């Protein structure tokens, strides 16, 4: 194994020379020699040692110190085993994994403070056969397990892949020891490489133990590869994030550099002589651009400066770029044909199904603009889950009013200059996004969509983008918007701004105040089928090169796609699934297997595979202790399960599932109420409440009723009805208090196949917002007190009042 010495350096930074151990400070009393085939053992709390690896180990427990000293004294190997519970102080055979690594102690140092430090060199895997008694440390008879000399293409292929990945990982590591990549390259035994990588992997000790227990080369390589691939992905992403800041800057410079190169090339080709003509042209453009008086004066002055400057300097090229920007901006307000409301209504209806209230609001807005074009109209902001048509409504408004449509993506933007531009003194400076899209549109009266205004980055080092955006949107200021690069005012007051957002509460307050919020909460099943029938199928037919007579989906198939293959508030995945179905049809037609294809519901399974969303509710709520709650999420509503269970204990409440503070408090209140209901202080048990799907953080008080029912169900042993879902805050006196998001939650309940929805009494009025056909398909129960919920969802309980009679 020729990589030994090299590795030693790379891994531990220690010299390779095996040190003569100092005479142990404390000799163990027992001189009884270990039998042949037995090892002194050191239990490890968190570390798994691998063969072929050198690591420093600190031992503290008396038995471990004795074991190490015995190994040094007798010049024998010592065995390392992982503990199952790292917290355990005194360990016996049952507390340990029975597969470990035998190692040579290369160094033994007793520090002045009495700590014992070892440097050990892993040598081979072993399996414990039996533990032996009679020593002041753990001893076991063991069988060594050597790596097999398996070979063949399967191993070879994995070996090469592992090497490649390991080198990649090393390169991505910010502070990998120098030369580590070369060491990895040099390893020539697959098993040894796998162990070496395993040692470096940043995974839990149990996972490392699994790697240690993988004796076969193939499974071991596969496992390491899988873990490493994950790790490389994480490293790559974190590196990308770091690179991003640099990239934003690079892109800005690109245009500058390209222009500069072009000039150089023109000069080489002898075209530089035309510069006089060029300036003449620029002069003409300045005069004709329609700039306001002040700006025109400023531009003429800059032009003079350019003339004086002469050809070829870097500054002249920058100045020329600047003047080009000035002349290319749409200073003149283009003649707007006045808005035709009837035509606008026709276009909106043509592009979007349903959304009656929203279309009406848009038409009102257009009507106000038509009657008072100089007035300050509000800025519309569409708020709703993905795929409900926010962006496409914006496009539709542009079409309906005969305006240009442009979009600025604000998501993740955190530099003020991206909106307002960089000063010209800055190398490679350019105007900000707003001015850029306005030039692209060639109009300052178009529709400008500010997409994802809720994802605008926080202000930081480079100034606050939201305050720059405020200037853009504020009707008091935006007639004189000043981009840092332009350095002159530009009139944005005629731009029709429309913003979009998934959620309201991350939009900075001052921005929100300037906008008129229009909510698009999502569609019902029927609406989705209708949208699919009228729009999505048509669009996907076209996208896949099919004629309408060649392929069709029945209504039943569309309904099945909505119900069984997608779960969303909007229609984006639905459109994608329709695309897959039609591509399948296109294939069959292309292969000559059919002339035309009609896809019905039963065909979907063969095309798309098994249904993706079976009713999990019936399954989850079949046992006592589970209730179905309704949650509001940024992407529409969703159902969530509250699970409660009881374990022996001392009356504690255990909460898991990433619950926020408010939700924890409402669990506490629910438990107090439930104890009162069953009239039992529950002093001998702990109650565990869990809300699965731990990846989504959950907070808010609105799960109170569901928590209460889960607990009552658990404590009375009666299951909650599986077709009932609920939402509502509870007070300590058992009152049910109102909550938000009724429409989203109701639609989510319907999507999930719930039949009865329980709502706080005081939310009754919010049902107006729920589409009539959704309302018609659900039964609503309004709650004043928590007992109402019990009666509806669990049934009558054997009343504890009976006890009072006694
Ligand atoms: N009511 C509707 N009628 C017809 N098509 C619709 C309707 N609602 C949405 N769509 C279509 O669904 C698709 C997704 O819509 P869009 O891109 O506008 O979503 P969005 O709300 O902007 O989502 P995101 O928040 O992810 O940007 C578009 O192709 C759109 O035309
Ligand atoms: Mg969008």
Looking at the DSSP bridge assignments, the partners of residue 105 are 120
> Would you say the CB of residue 551 lies under 6 angstroms from ligand 1?
no
Q: What is the CA radius of gyration of the chain?
A: 36
Looking at the DSSP bridge assignments, the partners of residue 379 are 515
Looking at the DSSP bridge assignments, the partners of residue 630 are 639
Nearest-atom number in ligand 1 for the CA of 527 is 1
Q: What pLDDT, on the 0 to 100 scale, is given for residue 27?
A: 45
Q: Which two tokens stand for residue 306?
A: 């350019």
- Please tell me which residue in 283, 698, 718, 745 is annotated as part of the active site: 745
> Would you say the CB of residue 369 lies under 6 angstroms from ligand 1?
no
Q: What pLDDT, on the 0 to 100 scale, is given for residue 301?
A: 92
Q: What pLDDT, on the 0 to 100 scale, is given for residue 4?
A: 37
Parallel, antiparallel, or unpaired for β 636-648 and 626-633? antiparallel
Label residues 536-558 b or e (16+ Cβ within 10 Å = b).
bbeebbeebebeeebbbbeeebb
Label residues 624-661 b or e (16+ Cβ within 10 Å = b).
bbbbbbbbbbebbbbbbbbbbbeeeeeeebebebebee
Q: What pLDDT, on the 0 to 100 scale, is given for residue 1?
A: 36
How far is 325 from 430, CA to CA, in rounded Å?
9
Atom 18 in ligand 1: which residue has the minimum CA distance?
A: 389
Q: What pLDDT, on the 0 to 100 scale, is given for residue 200?
A: 82
Tally Cβ neighbours within 10 Å of residue 47.
15
> Would you say the CB of residue 141 lies under 6 angstroms from ligand 1?
no
Write down the pTM of the prediction: 0.54
Q: Which of 388, 530, 533 to mutate to test the pocket of ligand 1 (most atoms within 8 A of CB)?
A: 388
> Would you say the CB of residue 352 lies under 6 angstroms from ligand 1?
yes
- ∠ at Cα 78 (211, 106), nearest 5°? 95
Q: What pLDDT, on the 0 to 100 scale, is given for residue 201?
A: 82
Spacing of C-alpha 62 from chain mean position: 47
> Would you say the CB of residue 390 lies under 6 angstroms from ligand 1?
yes
Please give the average pLDDT of every successive group of 10 residues along the chain, which has 806 residues.
Answer: 36 36 45 86 93 88 92 92 92 94 90 83 94 93 86 86 86 72 84 89 89 90 88 76 60 67 66 67 88 91 83 75 90 76 92 90 89 79 91 92 89 82 81 91 89 77 77 86 91 90 83 88 87 94 88 92 85 92 89 86 84 66 89 80 90 87 92 92 91 68 94 93 93 94 90 90 93 88 95 79 42
Q: Which of 354, 391, 397, 498 to mutate to test the pocket of ligand 1 (most atoms within 8 A of CB)?
A: 391
Question: Cα of 385 to ligand 1 centre, how many Å?
Answer: 10
> Would you say the CB of residue 535 lies under 6 angstroms from ligand 1?
yes
Helices 356-371/341-351 angle, 10° precision: 150
> Would you say the CB of residue 382 lies under 6 angstroms from ligand 1?
no
Atom 2 in ligand 1: which residue has the minimum CA distance?
A: 352
Q: What pLDDT, on the 0 to 100 scale, is given for residue 28?
A: 44
Q: What pLDDT, on the 0 to 100 scale, is given for residue 278?
A: 79
How far is 296 from 686, CA to CA, in rounded Å?
78
Q: What pLDDT, on the 0 to 100 scale, is given for residue 32?
A: 80
* Residue 745 annotated as catalytic: yes
Question: Cα of 450 to ligand 2 centre, how many Å?
Answer: 10
3 state DSSP class of 570: coil
Q: What pLDDT, on the 0 to 100 scale, is given for residue 705?
A: 96
Helix (H) / strand (E) containing 530: helix 525-531
CA-wise closest residue to 638 among 759, 776, 746, 520: 746
Q: Which of 396, 453, 571 to mutate to test the pocket of ligand 1 (most atoms within 8 A of CB)?
A: 571
Q: What pLDDT, on the 0 to 100 scale, is given for residue 333?
A: 74
Q: What pLDDT, on the 0 to 100 scale, is given for residue 396?
A: 93
Q: What pLDDT, on the 0 to 100 scale, is given for residue 803?
A: 42
Residue 625: DSSP 8-state: T
């Amino acid at each position: 194994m020729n990589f030994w010495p090299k590795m030693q350096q790379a891994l531990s930074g220690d010299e390779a020379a095996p040190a003569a151990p100092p005479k142990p400070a404390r000799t163990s009393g027992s001189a009884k020699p270990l039998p042949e085939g037995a090892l002194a053992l050191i239990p490890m709390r968190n570390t798994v040692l691998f063969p072929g690896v050198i690591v420093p180990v600190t031992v503290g427990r008396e038995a471990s110190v004795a074991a190490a000293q015995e190994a040094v004294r007798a010049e024998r190997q010592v065995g390392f085993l992982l503990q199952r519970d790292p917290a355990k102080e005194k360990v016996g055979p049952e507390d340990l994994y029975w597969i470990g690594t035998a190692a040579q102690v290369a160094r033994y140092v007793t520090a002045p403070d009495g700590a014992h430090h070892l440097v050990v060199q892993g040598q081979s895997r072993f399996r414990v056969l039996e533990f032996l008694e009679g020593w002041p440390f753990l001893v076991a008879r063991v069988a060594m397990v050597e790596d097999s000399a398996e070979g063949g293409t399967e191993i070879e292929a994995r070996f090469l892949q592992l090497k490649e990945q390991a080198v990649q990982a090393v390169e991505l590591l910010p502070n990998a020891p120098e030369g580590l990549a070369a060491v990895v390259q040099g390893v020539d035994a697959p098993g040894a490489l796998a162990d070496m990588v395993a040692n470096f992997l940043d995974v839990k000790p149990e996972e490392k133990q699994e790697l240690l227990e993988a004796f076969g080369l193939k499974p071991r390589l596969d496992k390491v590869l899988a873990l490493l691939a994950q790790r490389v992905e994480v490293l790559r992403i974190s590196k990308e994030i770091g690179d991003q800041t640099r990239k934003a800057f690079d892109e800005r410079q690109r245009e500058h550099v390209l222009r500069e190169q072009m000039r150089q090339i023109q000069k080489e080709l002898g075209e530089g002589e035309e510069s006089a003509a060029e300036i003449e042209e620029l002069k003409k453009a300045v005069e004709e651009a329609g700039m306001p008086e002040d700006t025109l004066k400023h531009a003429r002055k800059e032009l003079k400066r350019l003339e004086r400057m002469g050809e070829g300097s870097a500054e002249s090229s920058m100045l020329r770029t600047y003047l080009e920007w000035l002349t290319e901006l749409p200073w003149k307000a283009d003649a707007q044909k006045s808005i035709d409301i009837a035509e606008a209504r026709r276009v909106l209806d043509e592009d979007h199904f349903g959304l009656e209230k929203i279309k009406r609001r848009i038409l009102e807005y257009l009507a106000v603009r038509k009657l008072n074009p100089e007035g300050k109209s509000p800025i519309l902001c569409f708020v709703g889950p993905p795929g409900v048509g926010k962006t496409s409504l914006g496009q539709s408004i542009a079409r309906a009013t005969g305006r240009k449509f442009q979009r600025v993506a604000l998501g993740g933007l955190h530099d003020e200059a991206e909106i307002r531009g960089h000063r010209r003194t800055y190398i490679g400076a350019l105007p900000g996004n707003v001015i850029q899209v306005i030039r692209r549109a060639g109009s300052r009266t178009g529709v400008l969509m500010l997409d994802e205004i809720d994802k605008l980055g926080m202000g930081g080092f480079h100034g606050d983008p939201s305050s720059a955006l405020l200037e853009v949107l504020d009707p008091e200021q935006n007639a004189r918007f000043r981009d840092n690069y332009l350095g002159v005012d530009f009139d944005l007051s005629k731009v029709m701004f429309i913003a979009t957002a998934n959620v309201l509460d991350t939009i900075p307050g001052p921005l929100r105040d300037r906008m008129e919020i229009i909510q698009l909460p999502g569609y019902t099943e029927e609406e989705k089928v209708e949208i699919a029938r009228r729009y999505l199928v048509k669009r996907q037919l076209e996208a896949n090169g099919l004629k309408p007579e060649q392929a069709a989906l029945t209504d039943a198939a569309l309904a099945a796609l909505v119900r069984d293959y997608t779960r969303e508030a909007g229609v984006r995945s639905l459109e994608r699934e329709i695309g897959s179905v039609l591509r399948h049809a296109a294939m069959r037609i292309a292969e000559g297997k059919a002339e035309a294809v009609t896809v019905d519901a039963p065909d979907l399974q063969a095309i798309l595979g098994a249904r993706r969303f079976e009713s999990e509710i019936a399954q989850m709520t079949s046992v006592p202790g589970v209730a179905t709650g309704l949650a509001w999420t940024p992407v529409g509503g969703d159902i969530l399960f509250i699970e409660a269970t009881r374990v022996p204990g001392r009356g504690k409440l255990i909460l898991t599932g990433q619950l926020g503070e408010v939700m924890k408090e409402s669990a506490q209140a629910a438990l107090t109420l439930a104890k009162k209901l069953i009239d039992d202080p529950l002093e001998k048990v702990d109650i565990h409440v869990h809300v699965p799907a731990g990846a989504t953080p959950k907070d808010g008080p609105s799960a109170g009723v569901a928590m209460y029912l889960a607990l009552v169900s658990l404590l009375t042993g009666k299951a909650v009805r599986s077709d009932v879902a609920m939402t509502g805050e509870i007070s300590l006196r058992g009152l049910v208090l109102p909550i938000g998001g009724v429409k989203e939650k109701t639609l989510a309940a319907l999507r999930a196949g719930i039949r009865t929805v329980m709502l706080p009494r005081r939310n009754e009025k919010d049902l107006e917002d729920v589409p009539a056909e959704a309302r018609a398909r659900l039964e609503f129960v309004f709650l004043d007190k928590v007992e109402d919920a019990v009666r509806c969802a669990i049934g009558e309980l054997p009343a504890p009042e009976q006890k009072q009679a006694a």
